[in-house]
Amino acid sequence: MAKLTIHDMKVSGKRVLVRVDYNCPLDDAGKVADDSRIRATLPTLRHILDNKGKIILMTHLGRPKGVDEKLRLDPIAQRLEQLIERPVKKLNDCVGPEVDKAVNKMKEGEILLLENLRFNPGEEANEDAFARKLAILGEVYVNDAFGASHRAHASVVGLGKYLKAAAGACMKKEIEGLGKLVESPEKPFVVILGGAKVSDKITVLDSLLGRAATLLIGGGMAYTFLKAKGQAIGGSKLEADHIGTAHAILEKAAKMGVEVVLPIDHLVADKIDPKARIRIETGAISDGWIGVDIGPKTLQAFEQKIAGAKSILWNGPVGIFENPKFAMGSQAVAKAIAKAVAVNKAFAVVGGGDTAAAVYKFGLAEQMSHVSTGGGATLEFFEGKDLPGVAALTNR
């Protein structure tokens, strides 16, 4: 890797400023509902602790406009304590006299968590003065927040002006894992795209057409493609202003010899509700019914393509997996990918927040080659964009 990593830095006895991405969903009780992003940083934190460093953690949570009591980081600190099995002291600000005082009292092996960075307007504005105040807190800076590295924020790019910036273990794994599919995917390369919107995937679709042999399209976005082909979709998700976009993508794929597999049958519901009536429809979807998952024939076609792949990228669930009645397709796709990894030695990357949440929910995350912690960052990486947080890391 061309950038410095945490293993290149001496952390013994030093205050290590670590940018993490603990932007975790909270449940109705205010507790962490999905801790996968916290777990992803544990190798970095344990490396620092094993080498007698002092950890100062920085993260954001949500999109507050100023201080928002519901977005304080106390639940994050509580969950991290359970996972790391040692105390985590959470502060009530991210800069200022009280923070300076707490940092100066730190001993080897201690962990401090600064308050939500986005409570301070200097974070998202990438203010130099705010970055300087953060930099003073540490002697070594580590970025382990791949999921936030497409943002040019003070804690992501500004700190590199004042401290050497090294990639944490999670960041390193992301760059190398995703980079393998961007730079030299072993063929055949199969891409599975889902999620709600075509508009979220336009640029990455365009980029992947030059590399993938096959595109399997499911989820809500599939219905815009089916509409572009003249098929009735009932009350299914539709981006009417992107029908032309979908048509152009299909035409381009055909010219480039890229196979596009769209759903040929569907699990449909009369409403998006756990108590909904459901049935399987083939081809056109009846009025008053909504496509909520791929059908068994589509799944069989998807499984066949996945079984023959040597490289796989999955971004976006193929159904509304949060509802157990609509999760069959996404779970079966996850199982097919896991089998391709085990049997065919395929290299499989699962990217995007919802997709990662799905494979963790199904208990299959450990069977994937790499589960990305990034949402927008993962997509921008595949689009070939330079992520500000990666570019700001110090070169070797």
* 269 and 325 part of one domain: yes
Q: What is the 3-state secondary structure of the chain?
A: CCECEHHHCCCCCCEEEEECCCCCCECCCCCECCCHHHHHHHHHHHHHHHCCCEEEEECCCCCCCCCCHHHCCHHHHHHHHHHHCCCCEECCCCCCHHHHHHHHCCCCCCEEECCCHHHCHHHHCCCHHHHHHHHHHCCEEEECCHHHCCCCCCCCCHHHHCCCEEECHHHHHHHHHHHHHHHCCCCCEEEEECCCCCCCCHHHHHHHCCCCCEEEECCCHHHHHHHHCCCCECCCCCCHHHHHHHHHHHHHHHHHCCEEECCCEEEEECCCCCCCCEEEEECCECCCCEEEEECHHHHHHHHHHHHCCCEEEEECCCCCCCCHHHCHHHHHHHHHHHHHHHHHCCEEEEECHHHHHHHHHCCCHHHCCEECCCCHHHHHHHCCCCCHHHHCCCEC
| Residue 50 and residue 84 in one domain | yes
Tell me which residue range forms the domain holding 71.
6-170
| Bridge partners (DSSP) listed for residue 61 | none
Of 145, 170, 195, which residue sits at a domain end? 170
Whether residues 300 and 339 share a domain: the answer is yes
Q: Does residue 158 sit in the same domain as residue 236?
A: no
- What is the distance between the alpha carbons of residues 238 and 224, in angstroms, rounded to a whole number? 5
Q: Do both 225 and 145 map to the same domain?
A: no
Q: Check if 19 is active-site.
A: no
Per-residue confidence (pLDDT) for residue 1, from 0 to 100: 75
Per-residue pLDDT, averaged over 138-147, amounts to 97
Catalytic one of 122, 353, 374, 389: 353
Q: In this model, does residue 382 exceed pLDDT 90?
A: no
pLDDT digits (tens, 9 = 90+) for 49-69: 999 999 999 999 999 999 999
Can 288 be counted among the known catalytic residues? no
Each residue of 183-199: pLDDT tens digit? 889 999 999 999 888 88
**Is residue 148 assigned to a domain?**
yes
Domain C-terminal end among 153, 170, 187: 170
Q: Which of 37, 72, 173, 237 is catalytic?
A: 37
Concerning whether 220 is annotated as a catalytic residue, the answer is: no
* One domain, residues 94 and 125: yes
Tens-digit pLDDT profile for residues 65-84: 999 999 999 999 999 999 99
59 and 193 together in one domain: no
Whether residue 388 lies inside any domain: the answer is no
* pLDDT bucket at 135, cuts 50 / 70 / 90: very high
Based on the fold, state whether residues 96 and 185 are members of the same structural domain.
no
The predicted model gives 288-296 an average pLDDT of: 97
**Band of pLDDT at residue 215, cut at 50, 70 and 90:** very high
Among the candidates 147, 170, 193, a domain finishes at: 170
| pTM of the predicted model as reported, rounded to 2 decimal places | 0.89
Which residue in the list 197, 310, 339, 361 is annotated as catalytic? 197
Mean pLDDT of the chain: 95
d(CA 326, CA 288): 17
247 lies in the same domain as 190: yes
Active-site annotation holds for 15:
no
**Cα separation values, 335 from 195, 282, 312, Å:** 18, 23, 13
What's the pLDDT tens digit per position in 168-187? 999 999 999 999 888 889 99
Question: Domain of 331: which CATH number?
Answer: 3.40.50.1260
Same domain, 72 and 110: yes
- Check whether residue 161 and residue 283 sit in a common domain: no
Catalytic residue, from 297, 310, 376, 385: name it: 376
